[in-house]
Each structure stands twice: as structure tokens, then as C-alpha cells.
Amino acid sequence: MAGLFITLEGLEGSGKTTQQKYIVDDLKEKGFDVLLTREPGATRLGREIRQLLLDPDWSEMTPRAEILLFAADRAQHVEEIVKPALNAGKIVISDRYFDSNLAYQGYGRGLDIDLVRKINLWAVDYLKPDLTIFLDLPVEVGLARARAQTVDKLGDRLEREEFNFYQQIRAGYLELAKESERFRVIDANRSIEKVKTDILQEIKEMI
């Protein structure tokens, strides 16, 4: 594929949404054709799945059902949006990709990591990112940010999980970063400007 695939990962409240705009604006100013997308919910099917995954009313959802819903969203996302954009030579920036499942359902829920990886790689037809940016910050900081933005101050179904769940997720992301050369860990517990500068430098080096 002729394009470049960059993914953003991080805990709730890590600032992914804020940083996306800066990344896209900077790349477009430099003349690149950029597509910003996200998981779950980038496709018509995905939007329905996203509602199920984040709705607090679905508290009985099992970890296996959860991962299969994420994989279904991801399979549709890759075929309908990501692959065509990459084939057209675009830089694709995705807010989350399969590393989220490895961290959340693997390390967080305790599902078998190798099985989670196999399910996801099959779902995306083995398409891996060229670069993955992990925005890292203390769990308590991220959750406080995320929950403060919701009406009830509790957050969606995932944001209501216990503190230890997120501790395991953060540890999982850091472990994934050690295992893969495509990962870059950025300290997100700093000013927006400093985080933006570091992210853009990593992308510049990749390009």
C-alpha cells in the first residue's frame, strides 16, 4: 500500500482527540492528503456497535462478547475506510486500533493475549500500523479528565470500570511498547503544546 498508517492509543483522558486536530492540521499544511478516523464507530455498522459497547446499560456484556464486537467494528473499518485510503496514497490517522484490544481486553480483562492478537489480525486482514503513538499518563489523571466531561461525572460503560482495571491496561500498553519497534511512548501529563511537539517530531521522522 502506498499510504502511511498511524494510530493513536491511550487511556481515557489522555488527550488523543485534542492532539488529532493538531496532527491533521500540521500534515495538511505540509501538503499531505490526510484522513482522520476512529474506532469504534467510523462506519455505519460501527456506529451501531459503538453504541452497544459504550452504553452503561449493557453492564452484563462479557469480555468475549466485548472483544468480538470490537473486532467486528474493526473489520468493517479496515475494509470500508482504511484500506481504500491507504491505496489512494493517504496518511491515515486512526484514534485507536487493535492495540486497544490487546491492552483493554487482554491485559485489562485477562483474556488470552495470543488469542486476542489472532482474532484482531484476522479481522483486519493482517494490516498493521506503520507508527503507533501511545499517550501515557497516570490513571487517576486520565480518568478524572474523562469523567469530568460527562453529564453524570461517571463516564460511559468503560470509563466506569475500577481503577485497577486501568492500571492493568496502562501496564499492558507499556509492555506492548517494549515488544514493538512501531510504538512511541509520549508523556501526555504535560502541556498540550509539549505533547503536540513530540508527536509531530515522531511523525516527521517516520515520513
Q: What are phi and psi of 195, to 5 degrees?
A: -65, -45
| Arithmetic mean of pLDDT, 155-181 | 87
Q: Is the pLDDT of residue 200 over 80?
A: yes
The topology (CATH level 3) of 4-206 is: Rossmann fold (3.40.50)
Q: Is the pLDDT of residue 11 over 60?
A: yes
Cross-strand pairs, 93: 6, 36
Domain positions in the chain are: 4-206
For residue 191, give the DSSP letter.
-
Task: Say what angle helices 192-206 and 16-29 make with each other, to 10 degrees.
Answer: 50
Least confident range of 9-18, 36-45, 69-78, 98-107: 9-18
| The pLDDT of residue 69 | 96
